[in-house]
Amino acid sequence: MMQVPIYAAYLYDAVNVYATALKEVLDDRMNPRNGTAIVERIRGRTYDSKLRAFVSSSSLHSIHLS
């Protein structure tokens, strides 16, 4: 059985967080090219990572794992 590289979990988490924020922007009928609106929805978000960590992003420079 082949093991999945840990980078796959990081990629999954990143795409999942981005896609969720993008969906919220689209639901609000905003321009999907508005990166600021997307980043604003990512900040302060918490989620369960595929690495079984609880992640909280309070700013772009601060990611908390627990």
- Residue 2 in this model has a pLDDT that exceeds 80: no
Return the closest-CA partner of residue 42 out of 29, 27, 55: 55
Amino acid 52: pLDDT: 66
Neighbours of 38 (CB within 10 A): 19
Amino acid 31: pLDDT: 98
**pLDDT tens digits for 17-39?**
999 999 999 999 999 999 999 99
Nearest-5° Cα angle at 56, 51 to 58: 150
Amino acid 20: pLDDT: 95
- Helices marked H in the chain — which ranges? 6-27, 35-42
**pLDDT tens digits for 50-64?**
776 656 665 445 555
